[in-house]
Structure 1
Amino acid sequence: MQTLKNIFSSTLHLFYPHVCTGCGSDLLQQDNLLCLECINNLPHTNFAQHNNNPVEKIFLGRIPITAAHSEFYFSKEFLIQQLIHQLKYKNNTAIGFYLGELMGKTLFASNRFNNIDYLIPLPLYPDKEHKRGYNQATIICNGMSEVMNIPVLNDNVIRQKFTETQTRKHRTERWENVEGSFKIKNPETLKGKNILLVDDVITTGATLEACGSVVLQTEGVKLYIATLAHAAK
C-alpha cells in the first residue's frame, strides 16, 4: 500500500510539481511554500527588539508612534522583492499570509507590541483593490492575526482619493501625492485603542504618515506601524 502511495505521489509531482516560491526548487515538503535554503536566506531585520530602530527614525518629528518594525530588508532583484511581487501582482496570497505569520511571530515575541487592539491594513483605493482582487496589506494582516490572535479591522480606515505611484517621487512629492487621501468612517471604533497599521514596504513613510496622522486624530489612539520590508532610500 505504501509503495502505491509513493508511486501516486511521484506521478502527481511529475505532472503538478510543487516548487519553492523563492527559487523554484522542488526540494521542499508538500505543505511548504519556501525551501529550507530560501527560509534560511530571508533577511530578517530584528528591528522589533530595539527602540529607535531605522523604521521608528523615519517618523521621528513627523507623527508620534509608540513602536514600529519591518520584518525584512528589501533589496531589488533579491528574494524579498520577488516574494512581494508574487503577492502584489501574481495573485499569490498564500505567500503574503505566510510572511504575515512570520512577522506576527516576531512582534508577539518582542514584547514591544503588546496590547494591540486592532490590525489595520493600509487601505488601497477601491478601484485599485477591485482590479487586483484583494489588498495585499489585508493578506499580511490575516497572517499576523492567525499568530497574534488580534482582529483585523477592515473598511473603517478608507482611501478616498486616487494617487499616482510613489516609486519615482522624492519625499516632498510623495507627501503631496497622498495628502488628504485617507478618512476614518467611524472614529468611535478607534477611540482609546492601540492600533497597528500594516503595509508591505516602507521607503520614505509618506503614505503611512498620511494614514497614521488621520488615525491619530481620534481621541486616545496609540499608533504602531509594521511593514513586511524596509527599503533604504
Structure 2
Amino acid sequence: MSASELAEWSEREERRRRRAPWGVLALVLLTGVTLIRNGSGEFDVGPPQPAAAAAPALGTRSAPSAEGPLRSSVPAGLSFSPADRVRIPAIQVDAPVTPVGLEADGWVGAPPPEDPNLAGWFTGAVSPGEKGTSVIVGHVDNNRGPAVFYGLGALKKGDRIEVARRDGRTAVFEVYGVEVFKKSKFPGDRVYGSRGTPELRVITCGGGFSELNGYDGNVVVFARLATGA
C-alpha cells in the first residue's frame, strides 16, 4: 500500500468509524467471532488454553469498567494510526499486521490462512492505542501446523503486547486477563465494548475441536495501554 493509498484509506476508515459507532458494531458481533473455520486440530498436542487464574478480575455489577488496572494508571490515548506489526515477547510472536473488516455474514474477517505468521487489525474498531477497544485477530493453526497465535492461551497477567503503528509510535499494552469463550455464548459487549480507556483484545480460536465444526471457542486476551512511545 503506497503512502497516498494509506492516507486515503485512513481518512475513509476514520469517516466510516464516525458514522458507525463501535457500540453498534458490538451488537452486530454479539453472537461471536469465527476466526479459523478451517482450523486443522490435527496435532498431537493442541494449543495451550488459558488457566483459570488468568481470567480478568470482574468489577461489581454496578461498576463493570473496574476490570483490570485502575483507570488512573492508564495513559491517555494516542491519535489514529493503522497497526503495522504486533510483538508478544512471552510467546515469541513478531508478526506483520494487515487490515481486516467484516465479512458479508457479519463475522470479523481473518488474515489469509496461507501465511501463518500474519495477524489482522479489525478496522471497525479504534486503532491500537486510541481511546476505546482495538481488536487484533489471527489464526491458531492451518493445515501445515501452528500459526501466529498458537501460544496465545499461555499468556499471563502482566505480559506485554507491543503494537507498532504506521505513525512510527509503538503502543505497549499490559495483559490483565485471558479467557476462552464458547462461540455460541460469546460475550460481545464485554469483549468489544469500550471501557473508557485505550484497550486491546487479541483473539484466536481455542477450546474443544471437532473435525465437523472446528474449534468451538475463542481465546481472548484482555490488555490495557501501558505506554505509547
TM surpasses 0.5: no
Looking at CA atoms only, which structure, 1 or 2, has the larger radius of gyration?
A: 1
* TM-score, normalised via structure 2 length: 0.29
Higher strand content, 1 or 2: 2
Higher helix content, 1 or 2: 1
Q: Which has the higher contact order (CA 8 A, sep 6+)?
A: 2
